[in-house]
Amino acid sequence: MMRSWAMWPLLVLLFWPLHPSPRKPVPAPLPPPPTVQEGARLYHRACLSCHGPRGNGEAFVLMPNGQAAPRLDQLQGTAKTVPHLMQVIGEGRGLMPAWRTVMTPREIQSLALYVASLNPASPAWHGWAGHPRHSTPASFR
Amino acid sequence: MGTGWTRRELMRGSAVALFAGFMGPWGISRRARAAERFRAVHLSDFHWGYRGPWNRHPEASLRAVLERVRGLSPRPDLMLVTGDLIQATPESSQRRERFQQVKSLLDSLAIPWVAVPGEHDTFGDGGAMFEELIGPRYYHRTVGPIHIFGLDNVSRGPLLEPRQVSWFRREIQALSRDSIILVLTHAPLFSLFIPWNWYTYNGTAIYHIMRPYAAKQFLFGHIHQACDREYEGMNRSGLPTAWPLPEPGPLVRLEPWPQGATHPEMGLGFRVLDWQGGRFEEPLVYLEPPVVQEVTP
């Protein structure tokens, strides 16, 4: 009898590691960051026909008014910054649709990165160096 | 849509609907459905008001096509128009005049008709005048045994607004699985040729919703030539009445052929849809057959 009582602490020690410990909350995985590669893929699907394969305005189709969409490889000043491009792509401008109706904010960022890259002297963008939201235009938050 | 519904046709339609109502859910048993007949005509791309070398008389071409439709026997129950009724114009008064002329011409056949907008119809005002004069940008109509869904995949860009997709899902899910469904759009819902904007960015959403339904067909315009493509069901284009376009292929800017003096109506025409024996027969009717035959993407 005495010996079986002595077994209990031993058993507890033996199985303690298997005792379910209170789970730490697992943080939701961060979505993959936007990339120029994804932007290029989206450009091919959404922009190429009107802005041309190199973004230089050599469009494959003209708009219903017979005009070509503007070239994207000679943007000046803030026009070629990623936040500005995101704003234009998301909200649309002129005959260009508001792509935010069918693209996610990350896709729009990728697309903006790609369009910015078409401009040789486009300023470096550090939106993902800190918190991604810090450089997301207000309308996409 | 249009005022092409005469009192007699309205009464005939009501009688069909009443009869269908007594025959069970959504109308008609499978056997009865096989015995039903329904004839529609698929028209597209009039570009009314265009002036230039691609068609020097687009109005005459449309009139010639409509005369052929008028002469069909049996007479069509319905005309389906897949967009670009008019040539785009920034002048709203000119736009109004063009829409009114086309509407009056279609009404003159006294055959009910429905239309979806093309990018030329919605240029300048996002489709406001189309909605005012022709009808809603997207809708559900039931004609005889057929459910017709018109969708707008041009006025907000080459895409379907999420609101429209949600509406479509609700409408479709209310139908029985054996419903006969025609979906009309201007641009194809599948990616026929993206460099020429022959696609819908989020068209797969519609195919996904339609998957449980077997008796379906997707009709479109925009590409100005005949195209039959099996993709999540049969996708068929209507013939233009304005001008033909080349087949997709080489990556060059999309340009129509200049209209030849000797063959002004080459490649123009319409498609007939005969629902008979539980299936569609869909012959093409050309004013003059094209030199380059149908697209086989």
Q: What is the mean pLDDT of each run of 10 residues along chain B (297 residues)?
A: 44 43 41 71 98 92 97 96 97 97 98 98 96 98 94 97 98 95 98 95 98 96 96 96 88 75 85 88 88 56
State pLDDT tens for residues A23-78.
777 888 877 899 999 999 999 999 999 999 889 988 899 889 888 899 999 999 99
Q: Inform me whether the pLDDT recorded for A119 exceeds 80.
A: yes
Backbone angles phi, psi at A116, to 5 degrees: -60, -35
What was the pLDDT predicted at A15?
72
DSSP state, residue B184 = E
What is the Cα A82 distance to its own chain's centre? Answer: 12
What was the pLDDT predicted at B3?
41
What was the pLDDT predicted at A134?
41
Domains of chain B, each with CATH number or no CATH = 7-21+40-244 (3.60.21.10)
Question: Whose CA is closest to B43, among B64, B27, B74, B18?
Answer: B64
Q: Which helix (H) or strand (E) holds B88?
A: none
Q: Which long-range contacts (CB under 8 A, 24 or more apart) does B290-293 make?
A: B290/B225, B290/B226, B290/B244, B290/B266, B291/B266, B292/B225, B292/B246, B292/B247
pLDDT band at A132 (very low <50, low <70, confident <90, very high): very low
Please state, for a pLDDT cut of 70, what percent of chain A lies above it. 77
| Contact (CB, 8 A) for B262 and B73 | no
CA distance A112 to A40: 10
Counted domains in chain A: 1
On whether any CB of chain B is under 8 Å from the CB of A56, the answer is no
Q: Inform me whether the pLDDT recorded for A2 exceeds 60.
A: no
Q: Distance between the two ends of chain A, CA-based, in angstroms?
A: 68
Question: Whose CA is closest to A66, among B255, B246, B248?
Answer: B255
| Contact (CB, 8 A) for B225 and B217 | no
CA distance B294 to B238: 11
Strands B146-150 and B180-184 come out as: parallel
Sheet holding B228-230: strands in order across?
A: B139-143, B146-150, B180-184, B216-220, B234-237, B228-230
Angle of helix A36-46 versus helix A105-117 axis, rounded to 10: 90
On whether any CB of chain B is under 8 Å from the CB of A126, the answer is no
Containing structural domain, residue A48: 32-140
What was the pLDDT predicted at B33?
59
Q: Smallest CA–CA separation between A32 and chain B, in Å?
A: 22
Cβ of B201 within 8 Å of Cβ of A46? The answer is yes
Q: Smallest CA–CA separation between A50 and chain B, in Å?
A: 8
Q: Which CATH number does the domain housing residue A118 bear? A: 1.10.760.10
Q: Smallest CA–CA separation between B247 and chain A, in Å?
A: 14
B36 vs A21, higher pLDDT: B36
What was the pLDDT predicted at B7?
46
